A = this chain, B = another copy of it.
Amino acid sequence: MANIGVVSATNNQVILRNYVSGFPKESDLYIAPTTIDLRVPPGSMAVLVKNLYLSCDPFSRIRMEKPDPSSPASVALAYSIGKPISGYGVAKAIDSGHPNYKNGDLLWGRVGWEEYSVITPTPSHFKIHHTDVPLSFYTGLLGIPGLTAYVGFYEICSPKKGETVFVSAASGAVGQLVGQFAKMAGCYVVGSASSNEKVNLLKTKFGYDDAFNYKEERDLSAALKRCFPEGIDIYFENVGGKMLVAVLENMRTHGRIAACGMISQYNLKEPEGVHNLATIVYKRIRVQGFAAVEFFDKYSKFLDFVLPYVREGKITYIEDIAQGLENGPSALIGLFHSKNVGKQLVEVARE
C-alpha cells in the first residue's frame, strides 16, 4: 500500500544530552524537532498518540544515570543519549492499528517526552473512561502517584485507626494523598516539606494534623519527637537519608515503613549512610520497598475508591503545571530542588 495521503508533522522531543552524575541540570536535556508521519503503518498494532500531559517523576533521575553494562536491569532502565526520554503521560489516539484503541480515545501510560509518540499498548496503558475530572489528574491523583499512595498506605502499611503516620515530601505528588488517606483511616498524620508555604498547604489543604519545614529544623529527630511524643507507627518514605535515620529513632515497636522513593539520595555521589538500622531488629520494624507498577491489578479498585471522593470535592489535589514541552526540562530538574508545589507535570497540548 502506498503512503498516499499520509500527513507528517513536526515532533519536538526532549532529548538526553549526556548521562548524569550528581544533580541533573537543564543542559543535560535539550529540545530537538523531528518529523513524524501522522499515521501508523498499515498492518501495525501500534497507536499514534498526541501527548497532552507528561508526568515529572523523581525516578527519571535514576534513568539518566550511565548504565552498568554488567547489569541487564540497569541497561534496560537507562535512557539513551541522543534519544527522547520517556515517562508516564496522558495522550489522545490520533491513528490506531490496535483493536482496543480508536481515533480520539484518551489513554494514560508510558509515552515519550515529545509531542507525538508511537506506542505499542501494554497492560500498563489504560484507556481513560472518566473525563468529568481534569485529564491532567491521570498523571497524578488518578495515575501512578495516586496508585502509589493507595497501595503503599492501605496494602503495605495496614493502617489501624488511631495509629500515627509520618509522611516525608508530604506535599508532593504522592504525599498530599497519603495524608488525606491517613485521615480517612482515622490516623494522626504529620508531614514534612521543604518550605513554609508547603507546610501551610499540608495543614490547610491536605488535612495534616501537623507539619514541619525540615529545612528549618536543626535536629530532625527532635522535630519528630515533638510531633510524635509516643512515636511513629507508619512512615511513608519518600526521601531516605538523614530523615530515615531520624524516623528510625522515633519509630514504635512493630512500625511499618513503605518505601517508594528516596529522592534525597538520587543525586548524591556518596549517598548518606543510615547507621541505626539495628533499630529494625530492636523494634521489629518492617520496611517494604514497592512500586505501583506492580499493583496495576488494583487500579480499577483504586479508581472505584477514589473517584467518588474526587467528584464530591472530598479529596484535594494540587498540581504544578509547566506550560509547553519546551518547559519540560526545567520542570523535571526543578523536582530535585523542591521547586514544585504539588504534583509537577507538563502540559504539552490541550486535546
Q: Which residue of B lies closest to A283 (CB)?
A: B289
Q: Chain A 234-277 against B: per-residue CB contact (8 Å), 1 yes, 0 no?
A: 00000010001000000001000001111001100011111111
Please determine whether A286 and B285 come into contact, CB atoms closer than 8 angstroms. no
Please determine whether A278 and B285 come into contact, CB atoms closer than 8 angstroms. no
- How far does the alpha carbon of A105 sit from the alpha carbon of B271 in the complex, in Å? 56
Q: How far is the CB of A155 from chain B (nearest CB, A)?
A: 13
Give which listed residue, B62, B240, B275, B289, contacts A284 with CB less than 8 A: B289
Q: Is A21 an interface residue (CB 8 A)?
A: no
Q: Is A290 an interface residue (CB 8 A)?
A: yes
The interface residues of chain B lying within 8 Å CB-to-CB of A270 are: 275
Q: How far is the CB of A117 from chain B (nearest CB, A)?
A: 25
Q: Is A315 an interface residue (CB 8 A)?
A: no
Q: Is A288 an interface residue (CB 8 A)?
A: yes
Q: Is A287 an interface residue (CB 8 A)?
A: yes
Which 10 A/B pairs are nearest by Cβ-Cβ distance? Answer: A273-B273, A280-B289, A287-B287, A262-B278, A271-B275, A281-B289, A273-B275, A284-B289, A286-B288, A285-B289
Pick 5 A–B contacts, CB within 8 A, sort by A: A240-B278, A244-B277, A259-B280, A281-B291, A284-B288
